[in-house]
Amino acid sequence: IIKRLHDEVVKALANPEVKDRMTKLGADPFPMTPDAFNAFIRTEMDSAARIAKAANLKAQ
């Protein structure tokens, strides 16, 4: 399932109309491997957790 989803996203992002539409919506589309995406998400989550802790934010 993950490989198929990845392949379809890469195919969609290769379409100039899709890429242009995403850019107009403020997104910066760039395909990455599932492993790279997982690492990116982990890094973002760790960063958000550090910021929340530094700001003394609590989950509601």
* pLDDT at site 5: 93
Domain count within the chain: 1
In this structure, is residue 34 part of a structural domain?
yes
Distance CA 39, CA 30 (A): 15
In this structure, is residue 44 part of a structural domain?
yes
* pLDDT at site 14: 92
In this structure, is residue 32 part of a structural domain?
yes
Task: Give residue 18's domain range.
Answer: 2-54
Distance CA 51, CA 20 (A): 32
In this structure, is residue 12 part of a structural domain?
yes
The predicted-structure confidence for 9-18, as pLDDT tens digits, reads as follows 999 999 999 9
60: three-class secondary structure by DSSP: coil
* pLDDT at site 57: 93
Average pLDDT on 1-20 reads 93
In this structure, is residue 38 part of a structural domain?
yes
The token duo for 20 is: 């242009």
In this structure, is residue 16 part of a structural domain?
yes
In this structure, is residue 40 part of a structural domain?
yes
The predicted-structure confidence for 29-60, as pLDDT tens digits, reads as follows 888 999 999 999 999 999 999 999 999 998 78
